[in-house]
Structure 1
Amino acid sequence: MTYRVALLDVDGTLRVKDSWNPGALELLNDLHSAGVRIALCSGRTTGSLTAIVEDLPHVDFVASSSGATVLARDGGTWRVLAHRAVPRAAVDAALELSAARGIEMWGFTEREWLIPEHTERSRRETLFINDAPRPAPLVDYAEHYGKVLGLPRSDAERSAFQALAEIEGASVVRSGGDYIDLIATHSHDTKGGDVILQACGANWDEALAIGDSENDHGMLAKVGLAVCLAPLTPETLGPAREGTTVLGASSTSEARELVLRHL
């Protein structure tokens, strides 16, 4: 099978904090040399993703906020191809939950990361992703969020946040660690892959994906070749589309080797 597009998760899959994993940059070079279009699909902010690929011109697309915002490289700039907003009812419910329970929440628009105020957690995140938030009343931008991230501190708070998935058109997924994302269901279904494939004139059979978290399930279950990176496994991924080849890897280097065998 000839693969034309690669949809790649970032944190845990290609990077840990501010460093590329062993084999990650080599994987990107291998894909580029094979003529595969490369997209980084991540829970990170738009600013963080565009910054880490500034010196990697063969990365053609980024999908930020767990697939809510998809951008294409256009010379020295990035052009928004799609932005899927979280249903307003779900955003309102999340903000009410934050006010009632004191759960720290952040909002993500096409380009910005918004926070009610600077906290120790937001300062650490700034160093981690090399992007800075802007303090603002979150309710003022409620119609524009592609993702609302919650940082619950207890099982009860996690359950309350996860209950937001009962709102029509909304999904709640873990994006790593204690991060929980509230996103539009359509964003979770593909992590932006559908927009990227359409831009490339490709179909799901012609795509491969690598990911390690719950927010990667949608794209992994649809591509022609899916590589589940630990802690995600083919068993925990669940049902995939008929015809999808699902493999497991324990490291980025091993995932690279598996991909090379199929290019």
Structure 2
Amino acid sequence: MTTPPAQPACKLLVIDIDGTLLTPGGEITEGTRAAIAEARAAGVTVTLATARRYGNTASIARELALTAPLILYDGALIVEHPGGRILYSNPLPAQVAQQGIALFLAEGLQPVIQPLGDPLHEEVWTGPTELDTSWQQIYFTVHAAELRRLPRERLLDLDRPVLRLVALEAPERLRLLLPALAALDCSWLLLERGNYESGELSLLRAGCSKATAVAALAGRLGIPLSQVMAIGDNENDIGMLSLVGLGIAMGQANAAVKQAARAITTSNSEDGVAYAIERYLLRPARTADSNSRSRSTCL
């Protein structure tokens, strides 16, 4: 009689995209592809958790042959993949979104509004061109097909919920808004350098994060958080890494991210995701004895 192969203790693997899954050049290495494919073959559900929208996340999910719900907009949305059906949403309350937009406008900042809508036909809303600065140029170029310009008065009277409100500017200018944000009933995150070569200030519903979305998805899948492994590199990954059974920080992550994690892998220029999957998920499964196969946590 043959002994069945050991199964990984972790049943759900959640991977951040930028700075984690992707190399500094924006690519997925062959080693990472192979490790993810092996994890899926072993019965692990693999998903992505990102600040990105569905459109530019679904293309990466297709590249990796993933068929699990995707966590988007820093945890404000979970979308079935590849079907595109919304499974979970956590938008800003309308009054808070309006207050945030009014604050941005009062400070002369161009708001970048990511509304709740059909994930297969996403839009990005923003104000008139006179509010544009060079800081938004890359973002608006990348998302030109989805961009919709609204006059100032319409910005304060939106007809759809807002998943995420963003300002792309010099970080020193964004830091000046933090005292005013403390008066708003929302969560916020300031990145000194986001994905578009600028400072990035994002507003979400109070308590909304990748961590809350991971908990919602794990509950939907019937997987205990102790059997979830997550990999990330930035401040918006901290809650997720500290919540799950095994949170793994990328080698280039800052001290706060590493402190929140239970393990540290190599950087995203050194196949950090592939190494983490091999070291903490696949290798223990291959070498586990009957006792270790029955573990309930990702250790």
Structure 1 residue 249, shift from structure 2 partner: 2.8
Task: Give distance in 1, aligned partners of 2:78 and 2:32.
Answer: 22
User: How far apart in 2 are the matches of 1:245 and 1:189?
Assistant: 17
Structure 1, 14-23 or 212-221: larger mean CA deviation: 14-23
- Structure with more strand by fraction: 1
Is the CA contact 2:171–2:200 (under 8 Å) kept in the aligned structure 1?
Answer: no
SS in 1 for 2:80: strand
Instruction: Report the count of equivalent residues.
Output: 256
Q: 1:45 is paired with a residue of what secondary structure? A: coil
Matches within 5 A, 1:49-198: 49-73=57-81, 76-110=82-116, 111=119, 112-117=123-128, 122=136, 124-125=138-139, 128=142, 132-136=146-150, 137-141=154-158, 144-153=161-170, 155-161=172-178, 163-168=180-185, 170-174=186-190, 176-177=193-194, 178-188=199-209, 190=211, 192-198=213-219
The residue identity in structure 2 corresponding to 1:134 is: R
Shift of 1:122: 4.9
- Aligned-partner Cα distance in 2 for 1:65–1:162: 24
What is the DSSP-based 3-state SS (H/G/I as helix, E as strand, rest coil) of the residue aligned with 1:54? helix
Larger radius of gyration: 2
Q: Which shifted more, 97-106 or 11-20?
A: 11-20
Distance 1:69 1:81, change over 3 A: same
Report deviation, 1:142.
6.8
2:267 is the counterpart of 1:247: no
Cα deviation for residue 128 of structure 1 reads 4.8
Percent identity, please.
20
Q: Provide Cα deviations, 1:123-170, integer angstroms capped at 9, x if missing partner.
A: 5225557963222343343761111011233524323146424423x1
Aligned residues of 1:205 and 1:223 also touching (Cα < 8 A): yes
Distance 1:77 1:164 in 2: 36
Of residues 217, 220, 223 in structure 1, which corresponds to 2:241?
220
- Is the CA contact (8 Å cut-off) linking 2:136 and 2:169 kept in structure 1? no
Residues 145 and 159 of structure 1: CA distance in aligned 2, closer, same or farther (over 3 Å)? same
2-side partners of 1:131 and 1:37: how far apart? 32
The residue aligned with 1:39 is 47
**How has the CA–CA distance of structure 1 residues 5 and 117 changed in structure 2, closer, same or farther, with 3 Å as cutoff?**
farther
Q: 1:113–1:153: structure 2 CA closer, same or farther, 3 Å change rule?
A: same
1:129 and 1:211 map into 2 onto residues whose CA distance is 25
Would you say the 8 A contact 1:211–1:228 is kept in 2? yes
Conserved 8 A contact 1:18-1:128: no
Aligned residue number for residue 231 of structure 2: 210
Deviation at 1:223, TM superposition (A): 1.0
Structure 2, unpaired ranges of 5+: 1-7, 282-299
Tell whether the 8 Å contact from 2:70 to 2:78 is kept in structure 1 after alignment. Answer: yes
Say if 1:83 and 1:127 are closer, same or farther in 2 by CA, change over 3 A: same
Query: Which runs of no fewer than 5 residues in structure 1 stay unpaired?
Result: none
RMSD between aligned residues: 2.8
Report the residue type matching 1:214 in the other structure.
Answer: E
Please say which of residues 250-259 and 79-88 is displaced more in the overlay.
250-259
